[in-house]
């Protein structure tokens, strides 16, 4: 009996390793390839995509299913109907809402105090360029890593402004969007134009859904965030007024060039860094994005920059800057292999 228990436990571990190490990465890459081969950039901007999934939970034990539902449901990662699906149960009315322990509250009401209290999040520690974290729309709080919250516009929030386009249709970023986002703040017009012109020159107008400004860690130039929108997300470029505000393009260029954290040497190259973040996540849905970020968290490649060492997303963005600069010969082979693997077809 002991040997049977050990064999069964070993089988479960091997099954898990094979699924997570072979099947899931292949399914993600297969979906990206089929999406890029089937749809145009505009169709993908409207949300058209193909994805493959592998669900081994249907064949898991009751205890494994229960552990999964408890762990994922408690933190708001799965809805009631998603949990019921694990047990082959039909969906229920209003079962698509996500709950988080508190004990228990709908995710879309999290942050609305029962008593008059205030909540806040920690600041990111990336020195130049964003981590591509998932944040609540229009809330100038940027947590460490990738934070997942339902998209819920708020009224009367402070410290942020955004271009006024709430349409669900596919958008192309315009100069007016950037100027409108920065009009009420301290970012100078020539800086805003330099940011937009760099985005346009790289052909990335379709990669960003909106531009906002915020006051975050003054060591951060800007960052790219995925703002959850049901099963998809808006790719949002966040301009940090605490770094960019009140400075000319030349002043910003000098500060970035003096940094030892990133390969970027100018505002233009900092923007190029963000365009590669946007390209990397283009065409994904929320599930695919979570899977991608989980994979990327395992990469810590040396020889590019301290920022590139943080994770795979930062490494890809930093490599993108070097390639744009024409310095492919200076890129370590491991970093170039990572870039080629995930950026193939993402122009």
User: Could you tell me if 83 and 209 lie in one domain?
Assistant: no
The pLDDT-based confidence of 313 (bands split at 50, 70, 90) is very high
Contact 313, 280 (CB under 8 A): yes
User: Could you tell me if 181 and 278 lie in one domain?
Assistant: yes
User: Could you tell me if 166 and 240 lie in one domain?
Assistant: yes
User: Could you tell me if 158 and 289 lie in one domain?
Assistant: yes
- Is 93 a member of any domain? yes
User: Could you tell me if 237 and 323 lie in one domain?
Assistant: yes
d(CA 324, CA 116): 50
Beta-sheet strands, E only, within the chain = 75-79, 98-100, 105-106, 134-135, 160-162, 210-214, 222-229, 232-240
User: Could you tell me if 86 and 182 lie in one domain?
Assistant: no
- Is 334 a member of any domain? yes
241 three-class SS: helix
Among the candidates 109, 144, 164, a domain finishes at 109
User: Could you tell me if 150 and 276 lie in one domain?
Assistant: yes
- Is 126 a member of any domain? no
The pLDDT-based confidence of 79 (bands split at 50, 70, 90) is confident
pLDDT, tens digit, 9 for 90 and up, residues 169-214 = 456 899 999 999 999 999 999 999 999 999 999 999 889 999 999 9
- Is 5 a member of any domain? no
Q: In this model, does residue 138 exceed pLDDT 60?
A: no
Q: Residues near 118 by Cβ (< 8 Å), separated by ≥ 6?
A: none
User: Could you tell me if 216 and 326 lie in one domain?
Assistant: yes
Whole-angstrom CA distances from 245 to 4, 129, 191 are 66, 16, 9
Whole-angstrom CA distances from 60 to 17, 165, 329 are 14, 45, 48
pTM reported for the whole predicted model: 0.57
User: Could you tell me if 149 and 85 lie in one domain?
Assistant: no
Among the candidates 74, 94, 109, a domain finishes at 109
The pLDDT-based confidence of 120 (bands split at 50, 70, 90) is very low
What is the number of structural domains in the chain? Answer: 2
**In terms of residue numbers, what domain contains 94?**
18-109
User: Could you tell me if 186 and 268 lie in one domain?
Assistant: yes
User: Could you tell me if 146 and 212 lie in one domain?
Assistant: yes
Q: In this model, does residue 67 exceed pLDDT 80?
A: no
- Is 125 a member of any domain? no
Q: In this model, does residue 86 exceed pLDDT 80?
A: no
- Is 117 a member of any domain? no
- Is 115 a member of any domain? no
- Is 122 a member of any domain? no
User: Could you tell me if 238 and 154 lie in one domain?
Assistant: yes
């Amino acid at each position: 009996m002991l040997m049977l228990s050990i064999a069964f436990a070993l089988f479960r571990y091997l099954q898990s390793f094979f699924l997570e190490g072979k099947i899931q990465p292949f399914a993600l890459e297969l979906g990206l390839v089929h999406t890029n081969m089937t749809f145009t950039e505009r169709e993908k901007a409207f949300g058209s995509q193909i994805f493959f999934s592998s669900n081994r939970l249907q064949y898991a034990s009751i205890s494994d299913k229960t552990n999964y539902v408890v762990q994922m449901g408690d933190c708001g990662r799965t809805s009631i109907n998603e949990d019921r699906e694990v047990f082959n149960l039909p969906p229920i009315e209003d079962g698509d809402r996500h709950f988080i322990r508190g004990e228990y509250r709908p995710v879309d009401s999290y942050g609305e105090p029962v008593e008059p209290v205030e909540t806040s999040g920690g600041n990111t520690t990336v020195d130049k360029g964003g981590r591509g974290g998932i944040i609540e729309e229009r809330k100038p709080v940027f947590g460490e890593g990738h934070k997942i919250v339902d998209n819920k516009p708020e009224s009367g929030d402070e410290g942020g402004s955004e271009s006024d386009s709430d349409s669900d249709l596919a958008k192309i970023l315009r100069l007016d969007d950037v100027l409108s986002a920065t009009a009420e703040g301290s970012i100078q017009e020539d800086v805003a134009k330099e940011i937009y012109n760099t985005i346009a020159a790289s052909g990335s107008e379709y990669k960003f859904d909106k531009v906002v400004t915020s006051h975050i860690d003054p060591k951060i130039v800007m960052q790219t965030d995925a703002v959850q929108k049901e099963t998809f997300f808006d790719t949002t470029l966040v301009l940090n007024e605490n770094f960019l505000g009140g400075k000319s393009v030349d002043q910003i260029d000098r500060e970035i060039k003096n940094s030892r954290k990133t390969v970027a040497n100018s505002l233009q190259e900092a923007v190029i860094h963000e365009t590669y973040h946007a390209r990397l996540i283009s065409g994904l849905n929320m599930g695919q994005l979570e899977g991608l970020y989980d994979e990327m968290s395992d990469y810590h490649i040396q020889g590019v920059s301290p920022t590139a060492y943080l994770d795979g997303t930062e490494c890809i963005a930093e490599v993108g800057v070097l390639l744009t600069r024409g310095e492919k010969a200076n890129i370590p082979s491991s970093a170039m292999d990572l870039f080629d693997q995930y950026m193939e077809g993402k122009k």
